[in-house]
Structure 1
């Protein structure tokens, strides 16, 4: 008897092959399918309905929880739907538009989009569509170099410098940790260790090669065209959101890339630097395996390039034992290198 008292729920429905939406009111999924199939001229047998936003199938129970005017997609037996943004992008790329026309069409989709997740995807699409990555020099792409010091004549030279600056900042943190050491002898050894680490960095060009697309693999983190892929949170093998960006493509993408992080899996401040300090409590810097610390602080052995969303700033619980790090680090070079 409860069924008799259900009010018709207004929803917006469309097919998976066109953008036009129709208003339909129904008490339940069965009635919605009947009305929808008649309206869109689809066979009723095997028909099903899902959310336009992300492809979630709408069951009878779920239908009753939907907000009024929720956007739905009506599908025939063999049809599937992975989300509105995937369809919109597919349709957009099949139009044959190029260059500015394609960008403007994508911006048009973005201007009408309200769903945060879809806005994010479309925003990244717009950024990546403005692709001038094949241009390298300042003369060829002056807009890309807005705000960049005049001494940089190519994109690769600036990106190399950008990476060097990040690595240099890690070195500054190591040196800055000297101020927290109370014992004079330990402080002296820590300064020696810091100087040695800095010499290693200088010899390696501060590892600026990671962002330089002109160097050979595997020294760079990007493709030859300049594409970078998020490597996922410190505790993941890959990025589950498949973030990617080409900072060589446009000024906007270069700015957005500045929010990506070179994140230490084994944490720099909480674990690595304190372990170096501990190792020098009763040992000279010459007896500590500084190459071990160099790899943890400044190389891809412990660094992951991550999108800001994947940058977890909380404690990195990797089930690693800081005491074990200390035990290895305090050994002599001949045993550890």
Structure 2
């Protein structure tokens, strides 16, 4: 006999009840009711946009709500649909939306819901999209006049962090003597050359950069990647330093944490490497990667920054091919 379903389309305000025993029957009847061309159409769950194929069809429950999409159309789910309706209805009442969201933030709500509301409120009241100094002068208070855009400064601030790491590595030479010190300085000079070629990796904080280079979203949102021994941040820490001067200052307290520790592990291993005179381009690249790239760096909120010993090694590559550590999933 078949199961009962409710179907609609993106261009329809109505939904229709249909009985179908398989996906083909559902598509034929649904397209007929909605007056759609059958060619190129597909079926998705109205709730979350999951596409329904012939196998998945057998698991659908009675009265399941479905949306039939025409060729080229996309559906992200019911929540997005509701949000769009709210935004359209309150297009000229932004203050009311912000007030309602702010009131919800004062109540006891789940952490993830709180974060979503914070995103909305901050994005609405802060000047996040402004980029130039003349469009958000308050954001630039206290900064050198040479910075004309927010991204220019954020790029510089990341470079400054990288240079501070380099300085710490260089200064360790003061504890060495003789040939070991000479070889150590030569090795670090080659590492520094890699860093300079990559413009001190300032791109990590620059929202103008490509997806595979920056750590933030195109709007400038950064998300904590969690402690060195965790896959993600359980507190869901996030921040947009592009939004306000206050957020820019708070972001400076976030850490670019070395998973394999710089002072306890990486620097001593470099010393041991030059002692053994095992120096080549691959080892230079290896230690550059550990010191200055996402192969070994995590962006961490101060609460998630564990100062305990990590107890991880960083042996330089041998003649065999080394495996690359995947970049963290951060946006």
The residue that corresponds to 2:140 in the other structure is: 145
- Indicate if the aligned counterparts of 2:131 and 2:150 stay in contact, CA closer than 8 A: yes
The residue that corresponds to 2:131 in the other structure is: 136
Can you list the C-alpha shifts for 1:130-162, whole angstroms capped at 9, x where unaligned? Answer: 321111100111111111110000011110001
Counting only pairs closer than 5 Å after superposition, residues 192-207 of structure 1 correspond to structure 2 as 192-207=186-201
Query: Is 1:212 matched up with 2:183?
Result: no
* Equivalent residues, number: 234
Structure 1 stretches lacking a partner, 5+ long:
1-92
The residue that corresponds to 1:247 in the other structure is: 241
C-alpha deviation, 1:257, in angstroms:
0.8
Residue 170 of structure 1, aligned match among 148, 165, 169: 165
C-alpha deviation, 1:282, in angstroms:
2.4
Following the alignment from structure 2 to structure 1, what is the Cα–Cα distance between the partners of residues 95 and 257?
35
TM-score, length-scaled by structure 2: 0.62
C-alpha deviation, 1:218, in angstroms:
1.0
The residue that corresponds to 1:223 in the other structure is: 217
Instruction: Assess, with a 3 A threshold, how the Cα gap between structure 1 residues 242 and 98 changes in structure 2: closer, same or farther.
Output: farther
Residue 161 of structure 1, aligned match among 156, 179, 187: 156
Query: Is 1:268 matched up with 2:256?
Result: no
Can you list the C-alpha shifts for 1:281-317, whole angstroms capped at 9, x where unaligned? Answer: 1206447711100000000000000111111111113
Greater displacement, 125-134 / 250-259:
125-134
Instruction: Assess, with a 3 A threshold, how the Cα gap between structure 1 residues 297 and 240 changes in structure 2: closer, same or farther.
Output: same
SS in 2 for 1:280: helix
C-alpha deviation, 1:108, in angstroms:
7.6
TM-score, length-scaled by structure 1: 0.61
Following the alignment from structure 1 to structure 2, what is the Cα–Cα distance between the partners of residues 240 and 158?
30
Can you list the C-alpha shifts for 1:92-116, whole angstroms capped at 9, x where unaligned? Answer: x999696677767777888x899xx
- Indicate if the aligned counterparts of 2:151 and 2:208 stay in contact, CA closer than 8 A: yes
- Indicate if the aligned counterparts of 1:227 and 1:244 stay in contact, CA closer than 8 A: yes
- Indicate if the aligned counterparts of 2:133 and 2:140 stay in contact, CA closer than 8 A: yes
Following the alignment from structure 1 to structure 2, what is the Cα–Cα distance between the partners of residues 313 and 127?
31
- Indicate if the aligned counterparts of 1:137 and 1:153 stay in contact, CA closer than 8 A: yes
- Indicate if the aligned counterparts of 1:279 and 1:288 stay in contact, CA closer than 8 A: no
